[in-house]
Amino acid sequence: MITQLDRKSLISLATTGSCALLGGAFLFQFFGYAPCELCLWQRWPHGAAILVGAVALSLGYAGLAWLGALAAVIAGGLGVYHTGVERHWWQGPDSCTGSGGLDMTSLLSTDGSNVVLCDQVSWQMLGLSMASWNALASFGLVILWLMAARRRD
Domains of the chain: residue spans and CATH = 2-91+118-150 (1.20.1550)
Identify each DSSP E strand in the chain by its residue range.
124-125, 128-129
Kindly indicate the confidence band of residue 112, based on its pLDDT and cuts at 50, 70 and 90: very low
Confidence of residue 76 (pLDDT cuts 50, 70, 90): very high
The one-character DSSP state at 97 is: S
Mean pLDDT score of the chain: 86
Please name which of 53, 11, 51, 45 lies closest in space to residue 25, comparing C-alpha atoms.
45
| Phi and psi at residue 124, to the nearest 5° | -150, 155
Q: What number of other Cβ atoms are within 10 A of residue 69's Cβ?
A: 23
Is a pLDDT exceeding 80 seen at residue 109?
Answer: no
In the DSSP assignment, the letter for residue 3 is G
Return phi, psi of residue 12, to 5°.
-60, -40
Percent with pLDDT over 90 in the chain = 52
Q: What is the pTM of this model?
A: 0.83
The residue-averaged pLDDT of 118-147 equals 90
